[in-house]
Amino acid sequence: MEYRQLGATELQVSTIGFGAAPLGDVYGKVDVAETTAAVHEAIDSGITLFDVSPYYGLTLAESRLGEALVGYRDKVVLATKCGRYGASEFDFSAASVTKSCEDSLQRLKTDRLDILQAHDVEFGDADQVVNETIPALRRLQEQGKVRVIGITGLSLKNLAAIARRAHVDCMITYCRYNLMISDMDDVLLPVAEERGIGVINASPLHMGVLTEDGVPEWHPSSLEIRAVGRQVVELCKARGVSAPLVALRYCLDHSYVSSTLVGMASRELVRANLKALEFSIDPELLVEIQRLVAPVHNQIWDSGLAENRG
């Protein structure tokens, strides 16, 4: 396993991070015994960053991860979120942030969080996030309940604008840097690099677009994006490699990103993702993929309040 420092923080994180959303049945029912075994195998294999949220499965993912981490807590960098609690339920108030932290600590069976981030901040009022949410996160940090604080979201414009106005330690962005898209580099990276903010990249498979099974029904991508994703999957298969392996390696090669989060619900998936550490992308294959993706490159769906999109 490879490890990188998370921005200017003291945290070192594995370059492959364990995305725990599947533990909340977000992508379909899972075998709890198998997901627990996957968590343990990931830790034994050197994966240290585990990311979850009360939103995933409406607290189910946190509860299951907390159970799986009993006896393993000190071996991981544990990250969760606050502010988003349902498909349309958001509360970025200081009171909500504080209560959410306490509730997450209980579900995760721990007395401190390594990372706590405001979740999908494009759905909140930017002034409130800057003037109320982030100060509340800092108070939790001062109390020793949280080591590192940050923000997450799809909207790069909104993340960058908040990061310019308020000091955050790290950010998670998803579906903005992978084989289908790369605008994270143009919009977010300049701010992150200037301010020493750690960046965690999520959804290297574009939330399922770059998988054999394709996307779930709720996926917000256009039919054109899905069709191109299918073409990439078939091209990789014809070249004797899996698209997820190529996609994850592509993200791991980013020079600034500290960790790439990928969902894992089984030991088989853990092992498949670990193969990316020893894999190199054929340059000719990458050129072919980029040619296929060109018609939809950097296309993204809307998310959040209208004034925060982009």
Instruction: Count other Cβ atoms within 10 Å, centred on residue 286.
Output: 14
Contacts of 16 (CB under 8 A, 6+ apart): 1, 47, 248, 252, 259, 260, 262, 273, 274, 276, 277
Residue 47: both structure tokens together: 């994966």
In the set 3, 27, 55, 56, the catalytic residue is: 56
What is the pLDDT at residue 218?
83
What is the pLDDT at residue 67?
98
Any idea what DSSP says for residue 28?
A: S
Instruction: Count other Cβ atoms within 10 Å, centred on residue 240.
Output: 8
Give the N- to C-terminal CA distance of the chain in Å, as an integer.
34
Handedness of CA 208, 213, 217, 223 (dihedral sign): positive
Per residue in 152-161, pLDDT tens? 999 999 999 9
What is the pLDDT at residue 167?
96
Task: Please report, for the chain, the start and end positions of each structural domain, with discontinuous segments joined by +.
Answer: 3-207+251-280
Q: Please state the rounded mean pLDDT for residues 253-258.
A: 98
Give the predicted TM-score (pTM) of the model. Answer: 0.97
Confidence of residue 216 (pLDDT cuts 50, 70, 90): confident
Q: Please state the rounded mean pLDDT for residues 116-139.
A: 98
Task: Name the percent of the chain lying above pLDDT 70.
Answer: 100
- Looking at domain 3-207+251-280, what is its CATH homologous superfamily? NADP-dependent oxidoreductase domain (3.20.20.100)
Contact 192, 168 (CB under 8 A): no
- The enclosing H or E element of 251 equals helix 243-252
What is the pLDDT at residue 27?
85
Confirm whether 55 is a catalytic residue.
no
Q: Examine the pLDDT at 34 and tell me if it is beyond 90.
A: yes
Burial of 289 (0-12, 13-18, 19+ CB in 10 A): buried
